[in-house]
């Protein structure tokens, strides 16, 4: 309960202790319930700090409730009325949110997972948008794991994810496909602009060491970029970026390479 004693509300008008916007919403639900004459069930969000009650107890902050509102068959003090049962469903909503996130997010980094990334790119391609795919690998990631342990490896992956998200705030999709492989979609850019962004990301990693415990780890990445070709599906773009990534590694790592094929017209 939000209240020390339910008697505090007895005889009060809802507008006396609830924000006017919420009170308007609740009164509309009462009117609707009386008009249909059957059980009305709905969920609502309540900011408990906005409730004007002198004594409060229980959880604070944002809380979710399920309301079960039913019209009374008899008049109450000469007026039609409803009875309402409120159930705090905040924990259930939070659990549902976590389950939804697990379906499309990588649990370690909070980036998109492979399936959701591919869905987003596919939708953009269906709308005839241009997409460059960047595939990024952490150079010599196995050495980091072997030297400092898997916790250090996880810290590097999370730090890279954070830097990529900060640098590419307006990018529609960044994902971790697994291991140290990250994939980024850049939309509606020229080849030159996509290449410049990739170089900026590479430098952002190389020029600032990654903190881990009391150490600063020097980290480099290699990046492969697909070019924009007509009528290519998302899996083909990823394959092109992967080929370019291989070229970047062959060139000595800490490189950016863009895929090119004489058999295709740009």
Q: How do the domains of the chain map onto residue ranges?
A: 6-97, 105-258
Q: Could you tell me which CATH class the domain 105-258 is placed in? A: alpha beta
d(CA 35, CA 87): 23
Beta bridge partners of 41: 68
- Do the domains spanning 6-97 and 105-258 agree at the CATH topology level? no
Q: Are 70 and 33 in contact (CB under 8 A)?
A: yes
Q: What is the largest CA-CA distance in the chain?
A: 86
- For 41-98, the pLDDT digits (tens) are 999 998 888 877 655 566 778 899 999 999 999 998 889 999 999 999 999 998 988 8
Structure tokens at 11: 């005889």
User: E-strand spans in the chain?
Assistant: 40-47, 62-71, 82-88, 131-138, 173-178, 181-187, 210-212, 215-217, 221-225, 256-258
d(CA 209, CA 146): 18
112 — phi, psi (to 5°)?
-65, 150
Structure tokens at 259: 């895929």
Q: What pLDDT is stored for residue 266 in this prediction?
A: 40
d(CA 110, CA 133): 19
Q: What pLDDT is stored for residue 1 in this prediction?
A: 44
257: left (phi over 0), alpha (psi -120 to 50) or beta: beta
Cα torsion angle, 16, 19, 25, 29, sign: negative
Assigned CATH topology for domain 6-97: Beta-Lactamase (3.30.450)
Among candidate residues 68, 56, 69, 66, the one with its CA nearest the CA of residue 1: 56
Q: Are 262 and 240 in contact (CB under 8 A)?
A: no
Among candidate residues 211, 216, 240, 210, the one with its CA nearest the CA of residue 228: 240
- Sequence-ordered list of residues with C-beta below 8 angstroms from that of 111, at least 6 positions apart, any chain: 105, 161, 164, 165, 174, 175, 176, 182
d(CA 259, CA 243): 7
What is this structure's pTM?
Answer: 0.67
Ranges in the chain, pLDDT < 70: 1-8, 53-58, 262-266
243 — phi, psi (to 5°)?
-65, -40
Q: What pLDDT is stored for residue 56 in this prediction?
A: 54
d(CA 173, CA 186): 8
Classify residue 76 by its DSSP letter: B
Among candidate residues 239, 243, 238, the one with its CA nearest the CA of residue 222: 243
């Amino acid at each position: 309960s939000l209240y020390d004693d339910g008697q505090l509300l007895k005889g009060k008008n809802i507008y006396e202790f609830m924000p006017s916007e919420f009170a308007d919403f609740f009164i509309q639900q009462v009117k609707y319930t009386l008009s249909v004459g059957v059980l009305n069930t709905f969920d609502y969000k309540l900011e408990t700090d906005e409730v004007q009650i002198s004594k409060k107890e229980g959880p604070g902050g944002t809380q979710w409730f399920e309301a079960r509102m039913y019209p009374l068959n008899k008049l109450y003090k000469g007026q039609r009325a409803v009875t309402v049962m409120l159930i705090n469903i905040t924990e259930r909503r939070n659990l549902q949110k976590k389950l939804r996130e697990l379906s499309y997010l990588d649990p370690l980094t909070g980036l998109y997972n492979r399936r959701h990334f591919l869905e987003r790119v596919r939708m953009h391609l269906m709308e005839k948008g241009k997409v460059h795919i960047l595939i990024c690998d952490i150079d010599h990631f196995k050495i980091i794991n072997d030297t400092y342990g898997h916790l250090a490896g996880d810290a590097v992956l999370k730090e890279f994810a954070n830097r990529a998200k900060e640098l590419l705030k307006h990018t529609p999709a960044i994902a971790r496909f697994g291991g140290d492989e990250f994939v980024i979609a850049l939309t509606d850019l020229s080849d030159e602009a996509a290449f410049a962004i990739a170089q900026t990301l590479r430098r952002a990693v190389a020029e600032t060491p990654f903190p881990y415990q009391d150490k600063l780890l020097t980290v480099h990445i290699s990046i492969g970029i697909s070019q924009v070709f007509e009528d290519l599906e998302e899996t083909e773009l990823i394959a092109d970026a992967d080929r370019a990534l291989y070229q970047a590694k062959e060139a000595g790592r800490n490189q950016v390479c863009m895929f090119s094929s004489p058999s295709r017209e740009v």
